[in-house]
Amino acid sequence: MKVCVFAASSSLVDGEYIKAACELGRLLAVPGSEVIYGGGGIGLMGHFADSVIKYGGKITGVIPRFMIEEGWGHTGLTDIIVTDDMSERKKLMIGNSDAIVALPGGIGTLEELTEAITLKQLGLYRGPIIILNTFNFYDSLLEFLNKMISGNFMRKEHASMWLVARSPDEVITLIKNYNGWFDNPRKFAKIY
């Protein structure tokens, strides 16, 4: 199973977020599992990658060339894929994954998460999308998504496109127990 993880590049986040990211890295570093992430060596994403590596996991970074040139890439990964731009990066990360997990992050993480949800709504991505809501980080976003549904900007069925975990252990449970989504999500993607 390939698990794509989105995470913050900030190194100034609270230590509790780092602790949760490292625990998820440990849990994903198991035989038969592979992690794909943004390739950064700094911030929450760097700590996450360090944990996967520390516990013997396989991890691939997907990073745009300009980030490598800036020195932002992680140097200890199993594999690294260098892309021309951010769009190609997202396409490879999402397209090569069986499950997606969003850790707390900034605008880049939010953009990656919402693109994954959009692709799932259109039937272009079929795996689980799990939001790790460490210390209620994503509460406001989840409230906003529910407002989109209650305001008929999305259907009530769309609320099942993402799953919410409160802990790294719960992320693993949600991945293992995922039963799929609708067979043909496009039939209700359009709102009449």
CATH number at residue 46: 3.40.50.450
Sign of the dihedral defined by the CA atoms of residues 27, 171, 93, 140, in that order: negative
Phi–psi pair at 124, nearest 5 degrees? -95, -10
* Residue 159 included in any domain: yes
Strands annotated E in 113-190: 129-132, 162-165
Tell me, yes or no, whether 102 lies in a domain. Answer: yes
pTM greater than the 0.85 cutoff: yes
Domain count, the chain: 1
Question: Is 107 a domain residue?
Answer: yes
Rounded to an integer, the average pLDDT of 120-134 is 96
The length of the chain is 192
Domain that holds residue 47: 2-176
CA 23 to centroid of chain Cα atoms = 15
Alpha-carbon span 112 to 163, nearest angstrom: 16
- pLDDT for 35-83, tens place per residue? 999 999 999 999 999 999 999 999 999 999 999 999 999 999 999 999 9
